[in-house]
Structure 1
């Protein structure tokens, strides 16, 4: 194995994979900006636009497990460089597409081509960096990648003053191909030694801890991607009645918040791990805030629009926390499969949420160029029900522990402050007493 200094690992491993993830975020969110132009130029309906944007997530989800297995077997360098060439071809096809079908095929190629961007980056971090730095570097990886969402707002809007969306995709096709070549040439090869454990997907899918956290992570993160990647723009236009400059400004602000959220989550997880505490409480807190933000939109609470939408944007970077929790359950040899399995659910729900929202919205007519507030309330509300159900499922072990404690001594009053904390805050005690990777009741 070639020895690399810390700075060479950053330059030759971390940054090239971060560039690939950056491009994947550009492709994921760019339709929120150009959706109106696509609809007018190609003649797309609301449901068509929802399907076109969400097919990215469908293909993305479908190939996560095969890509995860390939990353574990062949390493991230070769897999990522090949996939990014597919993405470059998809961007080139998107630039010359003249109808819905060709756009759909191109979008699907983009989804396939960048499907391994995040997992390849996370796998490279596991392979090349110390374990105690993994969570922090994961946060930096997602922060740098989410700059792609920033690029897909005001900077892309500025470029579109000088060119059309087809020329923009030609530039993206060239940049993606160049990044593929960079990763193949610059990133060193590193093969993991043979492990004594069985590196099978069943080792991941058979673990009950995975199925406790995965539904909540998928329902919240997938919904956040769906909303920011497409439906934030129609909501702000139809419900908030933003004009185009104000819309672009809010999308830009949300993207900046997205980057800050990724860095904050990575730093927070790093600090919590140093204190030998579990990260699952962070998952619960993020989910609770995300649900509350959507509820405030649905109920039309008198809050500044940027506040709930910023929370929604931040929730999209909670993959840092989810992957950190998953990393506590499985050894490094299984990280590709574990992250891939979780990403199947993330992107699978993003597809269902994004496409389903378009189908629901189309059931209401357009009045004076806008859809009714009630249409959005129904579409967003049905999505929220799924998240609340997943949150209850995630919290069941804590709720069960609380019920058992209360049921065993229902009439006993706490004799002291510490006794009261022990009785009425079992969740906090679980975080201290029970290690995050225990099999007991999880």
Structure 2
């Protein structure tokens, strides 16, 4: 059951990431520049982020199985539409629906975990959900590079779209919302109750801390994996297409390796979860500094190190969901997760767009003349987002610790959750 859910999420990650290695091909197919190329990912992420709260409410109301099935259908149709798109507006429309279907997967699978696993295993299984699902990004790197080169645009994307119906059949046959419960339905909410529920989730300090952890940790991975990693490695660092695609896959392997470790640490040391997130931000920013400050092209081992630590951002972002889970009642879990999930994708959206704008500014809008200097300017925009995130994490974790301590002293408990 859980494996099928993760497979659907992995397929969503594949569709989300499938443009990463096709960026240069897309500029030629649609006759666009860097800013217009960035709009593909910007629009997709914008739809994803805006859908998170509505999807959370839908999951709380109709259950994971129903919403996940709808997401799988939308993804398959949207990717097929992208395969046949022959103009920029049609391609944008298709990517909009890719973002919509993508938004309807992760929260659904994450909501299934507490229903099927013991509480003590939830942090680890949640980490595994996020990290194993990222295998979809590996399939969107080297295999998609091969498919584009040998099958062409339409057949490559159409083949990818056909995987969806197969997983949908398995989902409908085997996935249940809970033990002995095929469909789980929540109470119907009127607009006033929806507003009250969302307000209660947001004003819970743990939700806001989770939001800023998720804002600060994964956007560098999205930046590299969704759009700008391939052009950066090929154009700025002088790597071949195949080697660049392989390095992008390393981020996923690193995430798979780091995910279980972070899940175990978060479960054993709940008071230090935000400290773990801050440590990962510092590591990612430090290695980026090493690469951007390197005179000329950075050596392959340094780029390999960068891909590894960038990959750690995904598992680190899952800490935000764990903080939200321990801070909200079960009835608000999916909607709170939706709020938290917005953080990383809002940050990724803004970073990706800003990188495109800066590249156009430094190269006069010519996508064939990207230079290492232009990429250094563009990639440096990440420091602004890390700075904002660190300040907000530090601020909200103090609120969580004060509130948690008061509540647990009143309850006579020594358990803490930050």
Name the TM tier (shorter chain).
0.7 to 0.9
Q: State yes or no: 1:288 paired with 2:282.
A: yes
State the Cα distance separating 1:337 from its structure 2 match: 0.7
**In the alignment, what sits opposite 1:324?**
322
Q: Does 1:300 align with 2:298?
A: no
User: What residue is the counterpart of 1:225 in the other structure?
Assistant: 222
Farther-moved stretch of structure 1 (278-287 vs 212-221): 212-221
Q: Which moved more, 1:103-112 or 1:248-257?
A: 248-257
Distance 1:298 1:399, change over 3 A: farther
Cα distance change of structure 1 residues 434 and 375 upon mapping to structure 2, 3 Å threshold: farther
Question: Displacement of 1:398 after TM fit?
Answer: 8.0
- Structure 1 unaligned residues grouped into runs of 5+: 1-12, 401-432, 438-442
Q: 2:16 aligns with which of 5, 13, 28?
A: 28
Secondary structure of 2:162's aligned partner: helix
Q: Which runs of 4+ in 1 moved over 6 A?
A: 397-400
Quote the residue 2:404 is aligned against: none
Alignment of 1:359-374 (within 5 A): 359-365=357-363, 369-374=368-373
Q: Residues 159, 271 of structure 1: CA spacing in aligned structure 2 closer, same or farther, 3 A cutoff?
A: farther
**Aligned counterparts of 1:371 and 1:63: Cα–Cα separation in 2:** 34
Q: Go from structure 1 to structure 2 and tell me whether the alpha carbon gap of 1:378 and 1:242 turns closer, same or farther (over 3 Å shift).
A: same
Q: CA deviation at 1:156?
A: 2.5
What does 1:181-192 align with in structure 2 at a 5 Å threshold?
181-188=169-176, 189-191=182-184
Report if aligned partners of 1:278, 1:435 keep a CA contact under 8 Å in 2.
Answer: no
TM score, norm. by length of structure 1? 0.81
Look up the match of 1:10. Answer: none
* 1:361–1:375 contact (8 Å) kept in structure 2: yes
- For residues 179 and 378 of structure 1, the distance between their equivalents in structure 2, rounded to whole angstroms, comes to 42
Q: How far does residue 435 in structure 1 lie from its aligned partner after superposition?
A: 2.1
How many angstroms apart in 1 are the aligned matches of 2:233 and 2:320? 29
User: How many residue pairs end up in the alignment?
Assistant: 390
Partner Cα distance (1:222, 1:397) in 2: 20
Deviation at 1:190, TM superposition (A): 4.7
**Distance between the aligned counterparts of 1:267 and 1:156, measured in 2?**
33
Q: 1-side partners of 2:265 and 2:77: how far apart?
A: 38
Change (3 A) 1:46 1:155: same
CA contact (8 A) 1:223 1:349 kept: no
Instruction: Name the SS for the 1:33 alignment partner.
Output: helix
Within the candidate set 106, 111, 123, 1:118 is matched to 106
CA distance, structure 1, for counterparts of residue 305 and residue 260 of structure 2: 19
Residue pairs, 1:256-405, within 5 angstroms: 256-272=253-269, 277-300=271-294, 304-365=302-363, 369-396=368-395
Deviation of residue 316 (structure 1)? 2.5
> Would you say the 8 A contact 1:81–1:181 is kept in 2?
no
Residue 77 of structure 1: which of 65, 72, 86 is its match? 65
Change (3 A) 1:159 1:374: closer
Aligned residues: CA RMSD? 2.7
